[in-house]
Amino acid sequence: MDLDPELAALRPLGGFFVLRTALGAAGAAGTPRPPTLAQGYEGATSDVHPDPVALRVATVGERLGTSEARVAASIAQQGLAARLWSAALGCAVLYGRLPDLDPRLLRWDVLAAAPDDLWLTELRPLPGDAATLTAAVLHGHLEPLVAALTDRYGVAAGLLWGNAGSALAATARELGRWARAHGRTDVAARTRALTGELFDHPLLSATGARTGTAFRRRSCCLYYRVPGGGLCGDCCFTRPPHSSPDAASG
């Protein structure tokens, strides 16, 4: 199936999967266009946009009620990783094609509520195989994002890659649930196959243990340090630790 101009097949999957293909109201006259993800990874700052990653981390931290920048950076990264995996894997299994997710083509409303609001400004179809998914998401987005957050906030790379693995596993489980509910055995099979190939990559293979669709990560996203937070379902811990964030870096 060819990619349709609005990627409408993603809509029934839920908000994390939806990828807008036009700026719509956000591009109205007199309204600054949101920054691209490329500008965020590069730390680009202008009169119109401050550093997009810094602004997103600050926004997430304020909404979570945490003053720990590393905690906010971790949660912000996991949210963006979940959006990218969802849109990419969703397209790959439903269309058999992937839109070009070049960071220069994706605009990002860093002030939006979760899930992150993304717009794809140009639709360029690519193959929907694991190699293209790896190039698009893992190398195109997650590597520069991990590098930026490690450099700017001191977040351990192992923790951030654990977030990426957790987000991929959660995306696959949600696609599997949708496929079973709608009798789409083809979608379920393709999801399993692509997810398995993605987790074979060295950057993801060590992030956790997979048993079927279950995933237990080897690091912690630090959500337990958020006021009122706790442990996620796939956390490496069985109870919140009382040590520093470095103990959960993986």
Q: Is pLDDT at 218 greater than 70 in this prediction?
A: yes
The tens digit of pLDDT for each residue in 88-139 reads: 999 999 999 999 999 999 999 999 988 999 999 999 999 999 999 999 999 9
Which of 5-19, 36-50, 105-119, 168-182 has the least mean pLDDT? Answer: 36-50
Q: What is the pLDDT of residue 22?
A: 74
Q: What is the pTM of this model?
A: 0.92
Q: Is pLDDT at 146 greater than 90 in this prediction?
A: yes
DSSP state letters, 174-194:
HHHHHHHHTT-HHHHHHHHHH
Q: Is pLDDT at 27 greater than 50 in this prediction?
A: no
Positive or negative torsion for Cα 36, 123, 183, 214: negative
Q: What is the pLDDT of residue 46?
A: 61
More confident residue, 202 or 45: 202
Q: Is pLDDT at 23 greater than 90 in this prediction?
A: no
The pLDDT confidence band at residue 34, using thresholds 50, 70 and 90, is confident
Q: Is pLDDT at 53 greater than 70 in this prediction?
A: yes
Amino acid type, 78: Q
How many CA atoms lie within 13 Å of 235's alpha carbon, on the beta-carbon side?
16
Do residues 109 and 26 touch, judged by C-beta distance below 8 A? yes
What is each CA distance from 160 to 61, 64, 135, 211, in whole angstroms?
A: 16, 18, 18, 21
For the chain, the structural domain boundaries read 8-228
The tens digit of pLDDT for each residue in 178-207 reads: 999 999 999 999 999 999 999 999 999 999
Q: Which of 25, 23, 49 is CA-nearest to residue 38?
A: 49
Q: Which of 104, 120, 111, 106 is CA-nearest to residue 49?
A: 111
- Percent of the chain with pLDDT strictly greater than 90: 83
Q: What is the pLDDT of residue 24?
A: 40
